[in-house]
Chains A and B, each alone.
Chain A
Amino acid sequence: MTDVIVIGAGPAGLAGAIACAQSGLKTVVIDEFIKPGGRLLGQLHEKPSGEWWNGIKESDRLTKEAQDLSVNIRCGVSVYNLEKEANKWSVHTNKGTLSASFVLIATGAAEYPIPLPGWTLPGVMSIGAAQVMTNVHRVQVGKKGIIIGANILAFAILNELQLAGIHVERIVLPEKGPLSGKAGVPNEVLKSLTDASKLAPSSFLRLGGRLMKSDGLRKMAIKFFPKNGVKMNGTPLLLRKAAVEIIGDQQVEGVRVADIDAEGKIILGSEKIYEADFVCIAGGLYPLAELAAVAGCPFQYIPELGGHVPHHSEIMETPLDGLFVAGNITGIESGKVAMAQGTTAGYSIAKRAGKGGIIDDLLQQAVQNVRTVREQAAIQFHPEINDGRKKIYEQWEELYTKKQNEYDDVKIG
């Protein structure tokens, strides 16, 4: 008999499974990837202390801790549906159906695509695909690459490609259009980069951080942005150039790039072809929440959290009895925050399962820990993350807690 099924063996799912198992619940974790760790596996960066955040080591540590507590981790298993049947959740996978009273969905995030002509050619991949090929599979994605899209994730992964000796020739923006949105407008890109200036990838941007909060100054900065770009550890970041087409016959051979003005408008006659044998598209991340939708969970669109997220409380419950969520499915943040959220969800499930003792204290500490980790996070994908969190928790109060209180009042009265 399984008490808890955790979907996703990323930092959130593994931490959740550990907290459940520590509370005495029999727990199974399912993941469709070949090994546990989720997107943590590919992560590698130097912390301000000079130590390295090595995602493979972190994943191994979490996996071992879970297995020592007898958590059953099953990789290579995909979940495609879940539904409530007679007080239990049935989780349908490509390897059969599992059932339990509690389910924790921790499916993480996916990347927004930016379709542009030629993007289906072999050799074009999402930036995250390059991260996994490089750090997890240790296979070279190519000899000479171009990154399309300038954001925090692209810079983090550029650094990882450089570490592994993979040559990235330049970073350009996508052409402005309905599908690329703000990612194609130099002014907006500079704004989002300076909002995250404490982790800005080059001293140029870091210096300007505060200053460029002013619209006028930013426009000026874009106007005088060096034509050859600002070098990021050797790779030029070209904020005034946009990719209009990826070219190649059977696979990527290059990218057609044009100069653009501060608002992203193409300057006619400026097109040029840059050679490349691989292209990475960096469109940003959104919560991968399909399974919560399939289960019947209501959703809210919150841009500060990266997109549509299932309704949930600060202790990670959803409005559906027995269904919990944690990690990037609740909003895009770093792996450490996902881990802290997972622990919270695990204790929350234990409490709901009627585990007594110090569970209330543990849960409260876990919630506090999420806030602390969030404040200290080295990577923040959305600068207004706190506003986003506030919105979703306030909505929970409004929709679910108040109603419950009114209901209780009526019952007592």
Chain B
Amino acid sequence: MNRIINHPILGKSEDRKRISFTFNDKTYEAYENETIAAALLANGVRTLRVHEESGTPRGFYCNIGHCMECRVTVNNQVNIRACLTVVENNMIVESGKQHPNIVKRMVEQQ
């Protein structure tokens, strides 16, 4: 359980409706009205995508829409910021994939 339920000042977090969505074909549970980034972190998922060229993993960085590190594909729409987008029931979320860099490979092989 990665959620902060009790808080000495902010109080107990309200009991919200549960919904389900998929991320890279796996089904996860989320709370209604939370962001994709928050829902995934609550499920222990930190890696949101891999770098398009190097293939190294990336997660959220700023969490408020400034850095674009959290971009994912949502219902087939690419480059959606996971930190600003509310997760919806049955939403299909996918992480970006590494793209082949043909020119670079050719240069490397020479």
Contacts and interface: CB of A to CB of B under 8 A. Distances in A.
Contacts of B69: 120
Nearest to B14: A138
Contacts of A56: 10
B46 A122 contact: yes
A250 interface: yes
A126 B61 contact: yes
Interface in B40-63: 41-42, 46-48, 51, 56-63
Interface residues of A, number: 39
Given A124-B61, A126-B63, A140 B3 contact: yes
Contacts of A52: 9
Contacts of B3: 138-140
A69 interface: no
Interface in A126-147: 126, 128-130, 132-135, 137-141
Contacts of A32: 65, 84
B33 interface: yes
B91 interface: no
A135 B10 contact: yes
B65 A78 contact: yes
A282 to B, nearest CB: 12
Contact of B42 (A124, A126, A139): A139
A22 interface: no
A98 interface: no
A135 B64 CA distance: 13
Given A126-B62, A128-B63, A251-B46, A140 B57 contact: no
A125 B85 CA distance: 18
A110 interface: yes
Interface of B: 2-5, 7-10, 13, 33-35, 38, 41-42, 46-48, 51, 56-67, 69, 83-86
19 contacts: A33-B65, A44-B9, A78-B65, A111-B66, A120-B51, A121-B59, A122-B47, A125-B60, A125-B62, A128-B62, A129-B62, A133-B41, A134-B4, A138-B3, A138-B5, A138-B7, A141-B41, A163-B7, A163-B9
Given A120-B51, A120-B56, A123-B46, 20 more contacts: A33-B65, A33-B84, A52-B9, A54-B10, A113-B67, A122-B58, A122-B59, A124-B59, A125-B61, A129-B60, A129-B62, A129-B83, A130-B63, A134-B4, A137-B34, A139-B2, A139-B41, A140-B41, A251-B47, A251-B57
